[in-house]
Every structure is written in structure tokens, then in C-alpha cells.
Amino acid sequence: MLLKLIHYFNIFLVFFFTNVAISIANDDKGKYYQSLSKDWRSIFPDGNRNAAGPKFYKHISDKYKSFSDFQEYNKHYCAVSGSLIRSNSTPQYINMKEDITNKNICGYYYKCCWPCVCDLMKYARVKKITKEFEEGFKDIYVLIIDNPCTKEDFPKKVNKNYFCRGNILDNDQVETQDGKLIIGILHEAKYCDPSDLRKISANKITGRFCPFRNRTPINELRSGMGDIFIKLAR
């Protein structure tokens, strides 16, 4: 009887401390979402986050100098829509074109919804840059779009003053690379190999939904950001 009690007590201890560890891990991840939520009004004074991923990127880049923090915080917003993303969200494995070379770059993208994945893959590019952190210089793959400030059809639902000073990008509010607007980052990025492209092509979202969405006329898009990000990025 005593041996049984000891056995059950040991099982209880394993269960208890395992769940405590999981809870601590989840709380640790939850802090990134909560921190960005608290800073929401300072990032978006008028509350308009439409297509404002660049504002999140700038805020994180200025505030967090640890490479690990920088990476984690950049998993908690959608670069296309500007929506916050909760902890433990499952990223989408995608391929994008590298700026200048047009080579395929594969990596993980944290999204709020599947249409944003499709719009990003079609209308944005990726570029490797070197950035300084507390741990030293690190290579990161940033998501970029062309300067939207000169567009005559700049989407009305986006706060242009968040990005632009006249027809130029406002470096006090956003970060740029070679005259292009940084909207977020692609995680664990690398040059694609054939198996990566087959995996992406076979996926329900990137292989089936995205080709259909990307063939749909802009004025008929209703899901995701609709035509807002597309007008900003095309």
C-alpha cells in the first residue's frame, strides 16, 4: 500500500511540475503579446492599424535591442494587416521572391488570416539585411514593399501620415532599406530547395487558396484586408 501511495505521489509531482513549466513557458510567450497590446495607443495614436505592420516593426526595432526579443516580438503582429497575433500562433511556411535577384526565399510567416499570406507572397519582397543587437550583428530577412507615398490611389483606409512625409518615407516613423518600406520579417528564412517548393505547393493555403485569391480581381476581394494592402504594395 505504501509503495502504491509513493508511486501515485510521484506521478502527481511529475504532472504538477510539468504543468507549472508549461504555464511558465506560456506566460513568458504571452508577455510579448501583452506588451504590444499595452503599447497599442503609442504605436497607433488614432487607433488605425490598417496595413500598418511597418509601425510595429519600427516600434520593436527601436525598443528591443536583444536579438531574441526582437525575433519574438516580430511574431506577434501581421505585417500585412497590422493586427496583433496571439502567442502560440502557428506560422505559415511560404516562399517569396528575393529583391533584386528574384530568387525564391522560404521561411515562416506569422499571420492573422490566410488571405494575408497570399497578398504578401504576391505583392511583397524579401531582403537580407545585417542589423546590430546586444549580441552583435545578425542577419535578418525583412519583408519590403516599394515606397507607397507617391501613389495617387493610396488607400484611404490607411493613415498615410504613419508612413510618409509628402512623397518620401518618414524615417522617424518607419524603417527603410534602399528606399523601400520594411513591413516585417520572414522567420528562419533560407533559399528554397525543390522539396520546400513542393511542400508549399501541396499546402491547402499556399497551394490551393492563394492561386485562386491572386486571380481574383481586386474590386471583388472581400476577405482579409481586401484591396487595402494590395493597393499599398502593388
User: pTM for the complete prediction?
Assistant: 0.86
Convert the pLDDT of each residue in 172-214 to its tens digit. Answer: 999 999 999 999 999 999 999 999 999 999 999 999 999 999 9
Residue 51 inside a domain? The answer is yes
Please report whether residue 18 resides in a domain: no
Question: Do the domain assignments include residue 1?
Answer: no
Residue 32 lies in a domain: no
Domain that holds residue 199: 39-233
Are 109 and 142 spatial neighbours (Cβ–Cβ below 8 Å)?
Answer: no
Question: With bands split at pLDDT 50, 70 and 90, how would you rate the model's confidence at 28?
Answer: low
pLDDT over 70 at 110, yes or no: yes
The grid cell for 163 is: 508612413
Q: How confident is the model at residue 221 (pLDDT cuts 50, 70, 90)?
A: confident
What's phi and psi for 130, nearest 5 deg? -110, 130
**Is 23 part of a structural domain of the chain?**
no
* C-alpha cell belonging to residue 231: 493597393
Q: Is residue 196 part of a domain?
A: yes
Number of domains in the chain: 1
Q: Is residue 151 part of a domain?
A: yes
- Do the domain assignments include residue 21? no
Q: Quote the longest CA-to-CA distance of the chain.
A: 81
Which of the residue ranges 23-37, 69-83, 106-120, 161-175 would you say has the lowest mean pLDDT?
A: 23-37
In 3-state terms, what secondary structure has residue 60? helix
What local confidence, expressed as pLDDT, does residue 21 receive?
Answer: 37
What confidence score (pLDDT) does residue 95 get? Answer: 98
Which residues are paired to 132 by β-bridges? Answer: 137
